[in-house]
Structure 1
């Protein structure tokens, strides 16, 4: 079994900042495809995560976490 990544922290942070995904895309300069991958808890590059952190003035641990698989 493989651990997976969750971006639930990112979505909660956007709610706290009253931002939509489109606002995040514009503020960070990432593509719509990257936003879609994040929405599916898919793999994105560290570069994308860094751009998000810069746009939101936060640390990488504030936007994602590793979910341990049970079993």
Structure 2
């Protein structure tokens, strides 16, 4: 998937424990773990906003777009 989740990195950089974040956001530690591993199909904007609020970061600090091999070329062909 071209979207990667960097939540574990941001947590480590800020020395925040998953348990603290999960409690603040209002989700289970299990769901937060799935999000950290990138094993979710989506995340609510409300959840993302609470994460960013607690970690004092932007959504782009947590989520990154990394195109898969050949993906850029295919999309530019469609546009032209």
Range of TM-score over shorter length: 0.7 to 0.9
Deviation per CA, 1:1-41, whole angstroms, max 9, x where unpaired?
xx532112x21111112112111111222344541431331
Q: Size of the alignment, in residue pairs?
A: 68
Q: Distance in 1 between matches of 2:2 and 2:33?
A: 17
Alignment of 1:31-70 (within 5 A): 31-32=28-29, 34-41=31-38, 42=40, 43-70=42-69
Instruction: Tell me the TM-score normalized by structure 1.
Output: 0.73
Instruction: Tell me the TM-score normalized by structure 2.
Output: 0.67
Structure 1: gaps spanning 5 or more residues: none
Q: Radius of gyration: which is bigger?
A: 2
